[in-house]
Amino acid sequence: MAEIGKNLKRVKELLDLGELVAIPTETVYGLAGGALMEEAILKVFKVKNRPSFDPLIAHTDHLDKVKGFVKDIPDKAQMLADAYWPGALTLLLPKKEHVPDVLTSGLPDVAVRIPNHPITLELLSLLSYPLAAPSANPFGYVSPTSPQHVADKLGDRIPYILDGGRCEIGVESTIVGFENEDPIIYRLGGLTVEDIENVCGPVQVKINQSSNPKAPGMIKSHYAPNKPIIIVELEKSLTSNDFDRDSTGVISFCKNYQLPYQFVLSDQGNIEQAAYHLFTALRYFDDLPVNKILVELMPNIGLGRAINDRLGRASSKYLSEKMN
């Protein structure tokens, strides 16, 4: 079983040997291996059971290191980096030749991020290479936001989990790429559309939900718990004759319906608080005697867009299974 601790020397030794560890970020915990080591990258795909066509994000601690493995940083990318690194921003930038194709799934751009977590920044400062670090969970399952979440799902497959406490944001980073130097948001996340536009002006949002993603975390069926997720209008569904309160889980934004199996994301109606609790809520029902989970969409503003994106992907697994 994986050891949980804060021994950076031990973590560095394992990574230098090509082993995998779990690391905290402000968004979610990542399953980390050397991003320039093909064998370590292949281990990441194997441990997560992640399809090789879904690219990974390279994490480092300083922009000077980023310049060592990307060919160019467009002006607007530099503006975003200056504003939001370290932070919940991932940039898609043209990779240099020595960056393994397996990291980018053969695509010409590499996804790069400087995470905003003190213990992980300290670890990255000790390394001469970036870390590939997708979320530390089996592919398609709910992303982990605590060391115990990682241990529950991957604890028997990795030697060490770096303990950074509970993740502050709770949804993954926002991914921004560039077409003719114009910024494109490919994945909604911890930075809002408004955050990006405040720095570099109007942006396009292109959320790919196919099986041929341009950036990490864009596959349609994702973030799913072990029970079917169904997006509904809660008020209407809970008063339906078909609603069974004793076998149905409910995730609501802010209203407590006094049900036996319910998770309220934010009793204050706070979108940031709802994002923080989202993945915990999706996990909550795994061991409860419910056969489905009803959820409602959030207000589609700010982080609400990212939450709704994750809920849509979590529910698509159930929809695709039902259609097959």
Mean pLDDT of 295-318: 88
Domains detected in the chain: 3-170 (3.90.870.10), 229-323 (3.40.50.11030)
Helix (H/G/I), strand (E/B), else coil: 248: strand
Q: What pLDDT is stored for residue 113 in this prediction?
A: 98
What is the residue-averaged pLDDT of the chain?
Answer: 92
- How confident is residue 217, by pLDDT bands cut at 50, 70 and 90? low
Among 78, 147, 153, which residue's Cα sits nearest to residue 119? Answer: 147
Q: CB–CB of 58/131 below 8 Å?
A: yes
Q: What tokens does 5 get?
A: 């601790």
Give pTM, 2 decimals: 0.86
Q: Give CA–CA dist 187/189, Å, rounded.
A: 6
Cα dist from 31 to 2, 21, 42, 95, 141, whole Å: 12, 6, 12, 22, 14
Q: CB–CB of 132/41 below 8 Å?
A: yes
Q: What pLDDT is stored for residue 321 in this prediction?
A: 42
The answer on pLDDT for 199 being more than 70 is yes
Q: What pLDDT is stored for residue 148 in this prediction?
A: 97
Mean pLDDT of 304-321: 77
Q: Give CA–CA dist 8/18, Å, rounded.
A: 15
Q: What pLDDT is stored for residue 319 in this prediction?
A: 46
Q: What pLDDT is stored for residue 294 in this prediction?
A: 97
Helix (H/G/I), strand (E/B), else coil: 89: strand
Q: What pLDDT is stored for residue 207 in this prediction?
A: 82
Q: What tokens does 258 get?
A: 């006094």
Q: What pLDDT is stored for residue 140 in this prediction?
A: 85
Q: Give CA–CA dist 104/32, Å, rounded.
A: 15
Give 229-274 pLDDT, tens digit per residue.
999 999 999 999 999 999 999 999 999 999 999 999 999 999 999 9
The answer on pLDDT for 98 being more than 80 is yes
Q: What pLDDT is stored for residue 221 in this prediction?
A: 56
Q: What pLDDT is stored for residue 322 in this prediction?
A: 43
Q: Please state, for a pLDDT cut of 90, what percent of the chain lies above it.
A: 84
Q: Give CA–CA dist 268/201, Å, rounded.
A: 31
| Pairing of β 262-264 and β 248-252 | parallel
Q: What pLDDT is stored for residue 215 in this prediction?
A: 66
Mean pLDDT of 305-311: 92
- How confident is residue 320, by pLDDT bands cut at 50, 70 and 90? very low
Q: Which of 39-48, 169-178, 185-194, 216-225 has the lowest mean pLDDT?
A: 216-225
The answer on pLDDT for 289 being more than 60 is yes
Give 114-143 pLDDT, tens digit per residue.
999 999 999 999 999 999 999 999 988 999
DSSP 143: P
The answer on pLDDT for 211 being more than 90 is no
Q: Give CA–CA dist 311/299, Å, rounded.
A: 13
State residue 104 phi and psi, 5-degree precision.
-100, 10
